[in-house]
Every structure is written in structure tokens, then in C-alpha cells.
Amino acid sequence: MFSRTSTSRSTSACSGELDALRQKLAEVDAVLIGAGAGLSAAAGFAYSGERFRRYFGDFAAQYHFADMYAGGFYPYGSLEEYWAYWSRYIWINRYMDAPKPVYSRLYDLVKDKDYFVLTTNVDHCFQKAGFDKARLFYTQGDYGLFQCSGPCHPDTYDNRDAVRAMLEAQGWRIGADGALTLPEGTVPRRRIPGALVPRCPRCGRPMSMNLRADATFVEDAGWHAAARRYEAFLRQCRGKKVLYWELGVGMNTPGIIKYNFWQRVWKDRRAFYACINLDEAYCPPELAARSACIKGDIGAVLEQL
């Protein structure tokens, strides 16, 4: 369908891309946002560096991994230690606010449009920024949900209270704003009491995260309802001018957003494709005349828009 040569542009090379995107935002009938991990990274949700050391320095010193992703896959010797790690991971990436107002800036740009969000992110940032829950499809799960690890049934469970109890058992304090801190001079415990290990209310197996990591991922009733709303939005867009706007999407699962958007724009001559990415912003040359590919910090670009 597309040639192997991609078209890539940057803000420094072609500031006209910003003007083209700004114009399309003003004139289109609908906007479909496709969001990947780069959007949350731009909002300050870094998974390595100082933020990692602040919350996981004890685990890093013990096991020598250098980022949260590696720690999430580490084969801990007990569920008590596994959930000590994951309770911190969940809280700071789901229940704490992003450090930078990137999501709220994006919301301000689309809130008066007919919009929908298709995202592989699992951190709930869209809803916290004011996006309508009925206009969101989290395809890969949610840090805020547990499921049976079997799974023996297709339901999911809110985990905020359970995670909070795990953190407090490790010695962490949670402020009114959700901020996670330690009393001065204390070191957190790297285990939780066995009684706090979450277990399935039906079969008794340990719970797991509702994340699409393998074939055990549960697509619950909420997931299917969101999928139906997404399909309804696409049907309503037929015959309209639509902006397919990709933000921070990499190549881990390109079929969900990137290739999907390219194909839709290629088939619909009224559609327009936009991509903002810190490292790679590109599209097939067949779409070049109906695209704006901007290489740069997403937060800075949204502020300019």
C-alpha cells in the first residue's frame, strides 16, 4: 500500500507544519487522537532517572535494574515483595498527577471539537485532565485495575484502596494531593504483609494487573463498551473532515494507532494526518500532501499551538 520511504519533518526545518496543524484543528469536523507512551513521557512520567531512584532506590540497590520497566518484570522471590514493588509503580503512575500540564493543554485544544481518544497508555491521565470518559478507549488496560491471574472470570476490580494499604504497610505516607513521601531518615520496607496480597474473590488465585502483557489479559465489560463507542465514532465520521492526530506513538504496537491512522487517511481524501514525536515523526510519502509530521517535545509543540 505504501512505499518504504518515509516522509519526516521537524519544527526547526519547517515551522509551516505547525501552521498547517493549527489550520486543520480549526477547520475539521472531528479529531481522533492516537496517544502513546511518548505523550506521558512529555508530561513528566519518566520511568528512569531521578524519578525512578526516588521511589525505587532500595529495589535498584538490591537487584541492579535501572528503570521501572525492568523492575516490573523482575522475578521476585515472593508475592509480598512483588506487590511492594508494584504498589509503588501503580501509585506514582496512576494516582499521582503528571508533573507537567501536557494533557490539559491537549484538552484545551480539542474540548470544543467532536473528539475521541484511542490510546495504548494505561495511566489515566486523560480523565484526570478533563477528557470525557465516554470518549476514551484504553486498549491495553489500566494501572488502576486488578484482574484474576488465571483468569477465572472476565471482571476487573478498582485497586486504589488495596494499593494504598500496601504503601502504608511499607512506611510510605500519602498526602492529600496523592504525593508519596517517606518520613525523614526512614527506609521503606521492601515487602508487604501476606494478608495484603490481593487475591481473586472467586477462585483465590493471586490477582494480577489488568495490562495486556500476555494472553491472560481480561477485556472486561468496560473495555468492550469503550470499543463499541470507538466504532460508533468512526461511523459518525464518515463523510466528514477528520484529523487523525498521533502523539508519542512508537513501534511497540504500531497496528493499533500508527498503521491504522495511515490506512484511514490514505482511503479518505478529506482526512488529514498529524504526528508529533520527540524522536521519530514521519509518514509514508503517499500521505505527505495531507500530513504534518513534527519532530520535537510534545509539550512545547502543544504550547505553541
Please say whether the beta carbons of 5 and 87 come within 8 A.
Answer: no
Q: What is the mean pLDDT of residues 75-80?
A: 98
pLDDT at 252: 87
In which band, very low, low, confident or very high, does the pLDDT at 13 lie, cut at 50, 70 and 90? very low
Q: What is the mean pLDDT of residues 8-27?
A: 77
pLDDT at 10: 43
Q: What is the mean pLDDT of residues 17-28?
A: 95
Three-state SS for 142-203 is EEEEEEECCCCCCCEEECHHHHHHHHHHHCCEECCCCCEECCCCCCCCCCCCHHHCCECCCC
Residue 12 has pLDDT above 50, yes or no: no
Provide the strand spans (E) within the chain: 7-8, 30-35, 114-119, 136-138, 141-148, 156-158, 173-174, 180-181, 207-211, 242-247, 272-277, 282-283, 291-295
pLDDT at 15: 76
| Closest to 157 measured CA to CA, from 212, 198, 213, 96 | 198
CA 281 and chain centroid, separation: 18
Task: Name the grid cell of 50.
Answer: 531521578
Q: What are phi and psi of 141, to 5 degrees?
A: 110, -160
Mean model confidence pLDDT for the chain: 94
Evaluate the CA torsion angle 209, 213, 218, 219 in order and state its sign. Answer: positive
Q: Are strands 136-138 and 141-148 parallel, antiparallel or unpaired?
A: unpaired
User: pLDDT tens across 159-194, in order?
Assistant: 999 999 999 999 999 999 999 999 998 899 999 999
Report the alpha-carbon distance of residue 68 to residue 72 in Å, rounded. 6
Give the H or E element holding residue 261: helix 258-267
Residue 47 has pLDDT above 80, yes or no: yes
Q: What is the mean pLDDT of residues 224-245?
A: 97
Give the H or E element holding residue 52: helix 49-63
Residue 232 has pLDDT above 70, yes or no: yes
Residue 61 has pLDDT above 60, yes or no: yes
Q: What domains sit in the chain, N to C, each tagged with a CATH number?
A: 7-42+101-139+220-304 (3.40.50.1220), 49-97+160-197 (no CATH)
Report the alpha-carbon distance of residue 231 to residue 254 in Å, rounded. 19
Report the alpha-carbon distance of residue 217 to residue 148 in Å, rounded. 9
Q: What is the mean pLDDT of residues 66-72?
A: 96
Q: In Å, how far are 139, 163, 206, 253 from 46, measured between CA atoms?
A: 21, 21, 29, 20
In which band, very low, low, confident or very high, does the pLDDT at 11 lie, cut at 50, 70 and 90? very low
* Cα radius of gyration (the chain): 21
Please say whether the beta carbons of 72 and 66 come within 8 A.
Answer: no
Q: What is the mean pLDDT of residues 141-154?
A: 98
Task: Name the grid cell of 27.
Answer: 477547520
User: pLDDT tens across 258-291, in order?
Assistant: 999 999 999 999 999 999 999 889 999 999 999 9
- Please tell me the pTM assigned to this model: 0.93
Q: What is the mean pLDDT of residues 93-111?
A: 97
